[in-house]
Each structure stands twice: as C-alpha cells, then as structure tokens.
Amino acid sequence: MKLFEPATFGALPLSNRIVMAPLTRTRAGEHGVPNDLLVEHYAQRASLGLIVTEGTWPVQEGRSYPGQPGIETDEQIAGWRRVADAVHAAGGTIVMQLMHGGRVSHPSIAGTPRIVGPSAVAAPGQTHLADGSKADMPVPHELTTAEVQDAVQGFVQAARNAIAAGLDGVEVHGANGYLVHEFMSSTSNTRTDQYGGSPENRARFAIEVTTAIAEAIGADRTGIRLSPEHGIQGVIENDPADVLATYTALAEGLAPLGLAFVDVLHAEPTGELVQHIRRTVGAPFIVNSGFSALTTRDEAIALVDGDHADAVAAGRAAIANPDLAHRWEHDAELNDPRPELFYGQGAEGYTDYPTLAESRATATA
C-alpha cells in the first residue's frame, strides 16, 4: 500500500506517507523554550513519515497561548535544536509550523502592549489566561501597510531560526483563524489597501509570507497549511464563490514557487475545492479530515492509494500512538486518546502513551 511507502517532498525525505499534524499541547513553559518533555515527545514519534511541530510563534506579539513555544530567542533556538537532534537520531524528519496568532491572543499572554490583526475586529469569545481566568478577546491593532511587511519579515527570521536550530523545514500556518488566515476572510479583514477587498488582495499576505520564506530557506523546505471553509475563531468563509476565488488566487500565487508541500485541513478532502487547490498549486499534497473525527487507517489508505493526496496528516491518532505508522502498517490495535489531557504542563497524556510492544508486554506480564 502506497501509504507505507517512502516519499520525497522537496528536500524532505519521508519514510512513509503518514504525517504528524501540528498539535497545540502547551508544554513549553512560561518562556516558550522547548524542554525535556518536548524532546521526548517528538523523538517518540520519529517513525512517522513527517512531523509537523505544534504552532510556534515567530515573534512575541504573535503568541496565542500560555505554554506555547517560540522560535525567536537564543534559548528557544537551542531548545528546538535538542528536539531536532533527537528526532534525527531516531531517523525522523521534522518541520516547524510557524504560527503568528494575530488577533487570537491577549496582551497578558503575548506579554506585549498590543495584539495585532488585519483589521480592528476582535475574534469572538474568550481566551484562557495563564492564571486560569478567562478574558474577552481584545480588539487588535490594525497593522499598517508598512507593519504588514514587518510581519512578513518576522516570519522570515523565524524560518531562518528554525533552520539554524536544525529543523528540516517550516510550514506556514495559514489556517484555523490565525493571522495569515485572518487576512483571507472578509469577516476578519475589512482593509481597503492592497491586502483587503478582493479575493486576490486577501490572498496576498499568505503569498508574500510564503514567497519570502521560500527565498530565505529554499522552497524545497517550505510548506503551508490551509483550512478553507473551516469557520473557526471568527474567520468565516461561507460564500462558495468567494472561497473558490480566494483559494484559487492563493494557489496560483504559490504554484510558481515549487513548494515542498501544501497541507489542507478540510472535512471533504476528496471534494472539488480541495482537489482544485491540489491541481492548481502543483506541490506534494497532504490532507487531513480529522478535525472533528479521528483519522482512521482505512481512510488514510483510501486517500493516498486513491490518489487524492500524497500523504495524510493525523492528529489525535498520533497523540495516542507514538508508533502509529507501525500500528497502521500491521493493522494492530490502537491506544485511545485522552482528550482531557491534551493540554497541560506535565508528562501525563503527552509522553506516557505506550508503544505496541510495550502494551503487549504489559498485557502478557
């Protein structure tokens, strides 16, 4: 089965076509420095074809959650170097997801006087602060046209830092309602300059960020994640014609780059919108339908063997099964995820899921 065969995405070697989806887990402490827990967690999962790290902030202003790691300071770079070294020692390939949270944050989380967005429109709802309390999402500072370019350069420096830390590449987080995605929707982007209004203008920031990173570290080490029609965190995309126009403009802008991969989260990965993006962008293509339901072995096999994707990303299945690729290849039993422990600070629910061999040894002891 093709799912279990090796592949090469740009400069990235994959031992199989099962990708660990980016997963927020909030274990990096107050200063966003990867610690022993992160080193162990990622190394445990090195047998997956490609690891995409949790969303990692490029600049302090872009931090969305307490405990989220960064890639801005020397200490953070050194911490990620330990992670990369451990994954490589175990035979794995790892790229960093660069996530500027944009308006999905709070000054007390980011540790900055402001948070930013494409427009002065707050995300809906509340966020959890470090002390456990909740606060309404604040109205962000609308980035000026010049500040948009500063944001692009923040992504570029973060990508350089990730490569300096030894990671194999980066993924731009253009999904799930964070800054890059906020620019794409007219509900979160009410600008009237070249970054707002038309679908082509709203796609511009994502194209500029990805292009600048590709120029800095190589397109063959650069990818992007998208989540069209996901409707999360107030980034609403419910006009099919506008969605098609926006993501066509985005895909056409990315196509000349020769990216390592494009990673799409959508409930219907075989549907026309997702497959149109794939055809238009012309890059190795990763799909993930598992945001609301656990990605299954049968689904993953069907998607890759049916040529709907070049690889499949799995989230919760990879959380619960560090040796997921081995288990799926041999159609073996799986650990169940423990959602109540997805977010936290300790090893429980993070590094304590057993491998298949450990489970069977315990069962026969």
Active-site residue list: 178
Structure tokens at 312: 């499949």
At residue 284, the 3 state secondary structure works out as coil
Structure tokens at 236: 């609403």
Q: Identify residue 217 by its one-letter amino acid code.
A: I
Of the candidates 85, 137, 95, 146, the residue with the CA atom closest to the CA atom of residue 115 = 137
- Say if residues 230 and 236 touch (Cβ distance below 8 Å): no
Tokens 């993070």 correspond to 350
CA distances from 175 to 55, 181, 228, 332, 339 (A): 11, 5, 8, 32, 22
- In sequence order, what are the beta bridge partners of 241? none
Q: Identify residue 116 by its one-letter amino acid code.
A: V
Tokens 């199989």 correspond to 16
Torsion angle defined by CA atoms of residues 86, 84, 1 and 327, in that order, rounded to the nearest 10 degrees: 40
Tokens 């500063």 correspond to 150
Angle between helix 145-164 and helix 74-89 axes, rounded to 10 deg: 50
